Amino acid sequence: MQNHERRSQLLDLIRIRGFAALEELVRELGVSESTVRRDLDALEEQGSAKRTHGGVLYSGGMPRLAEFDERQPANWAAKRAIAAKAAEIIGDGETVLLDGGTTTYEVARLLVGRSLQVVTNSLPVANLFASEARTDLVLLGGYVSPRTGVCLGPYANELLGRLHVTTTVLSAAGISAEGLFNAHLLLAETEQAMLKAAGRVIVVADSSKFGRKSLTLVSGLSSINVFVSDDGLSPAWRDAIAKAGAELVIATVPDADATPPASFPRRNRPA
């Protein structure tokens, strides 16, 4: 395969997924890691991709989102394992409402190509489905946060008030005995509207989020139907979720994937 053909295929993979891990790209292209690194250097130079600690983000046609880029690599292996379990719970033909969290984004990646109706307030999530023929996409309007790429505020909330979805998938900045917390006041109001629109609510959160609070309380634990977390969740929190009447799904994080792929050495910048 010629360089330009391989790089075109590489860019397609990144564009469709929005985010791709180095190990995935090496495996799917069938070339060496060093070759993928050189190709990613070229794509980054032309502004089509941006490397992160977890892999590479598609940046062509999508704004650079500082907060999303910073949070996305954190607890990357756990997020991917959680996302895989959450995607299994969602059936074909459902109407799924996805918020703008980085774990929710990993769920969205796994839903690409499935027959679904997707509603979201997230530009990165919408970008994954924009060219998908099998998926009906609804992007909520409103004020767009330049750091996270999510739409929020009264216009988004008004539209949510007119909708009903099968499943809402939410992330959280923190989860305490009081409930789910978010770090953004306006976003918390939008997520409350998302809860009201849902027949079922799934919260995807790695174990580090439990026992923490953030700026604004979004809802109590009793408003959540399913929590999906990783095997690092403590027995005390497993009991607390059961007492709240919610189902708990635990994702096992493989030891081999416990850390993100090795970073790129070129110019001392991460992959």
pLDDT tens across 5-45, in order?
788 788 878 876 777 888 888 888 889 988 988 888 888 87
Name the average pLDDT for the chain. 84
Bridge partners of 152?
143
pLDDT average, residue stretch 232-240? 97
pLDDT average, residue stretch 38-64? 73
pLDDT tens across 154-171, in order?
999 999 999 999 999 999
User: CA–CA separation, 93 vs 260, rounded Å?
Assistant: 33
Helix (H, G, I), strand (E, B) or coil at 217: strand
* Ordered domains of the chain (ranges, CATH): 3-61 (1.10.10.10), 76-255 (3.40.50.1360)
Q: Using the structure block, give the residue that is written with the tokens 């505020």.
A: 153
DSSP H stretches of helix in the chain: 3-17, 22-29, 33-45, 66-71, 76-89, 102-111, 123-129, 154-160, 185-196, 235-243
pLDDT score of 208: 94
pLDDT average, residue stretch 242-267? 68
pLDDT average, residue stretch 59-83? 65
Bridge partners of 247?
226
Tell me what percent of the residues of the chain surpass a pLDDT of 90: 48
Where residue 242 falls among pLDDT bands split at 50, 70, 90?
very high
pLDDT score of 75: 73
List Cα–Cα distances, 53 to 72, 122, 155, 233, 253, in angstroms. 9, 21, 35, 24, 18
Where residue 233 falls among pLDDT bands split at 50, 70, 90?
very high
| pTM recorded for the entire structure | 0.72
Lowest mean pLDDT among 16-20, 226-230, 253-257: 253-257
List Cα–Cα distances, 151 to 85, 100, 103, 131, 141, in angstroms. 26, 9, 17, 20, 6
How many of the other CB atoms lie within 10 Å of CB of 8?
Answer: 12
Lowest mean pLDDT among 11-25, 26-40, 51-65, 133-147: 51-65
DSSP state of 150: B
pLDDT tens across 196-227, in order?
999 999 999 999 999 999 999 999 999 999 99
pLDDT score of 259: 41
Tell me what percent of the residues of the chain surpass a pLDDT of 70: 85
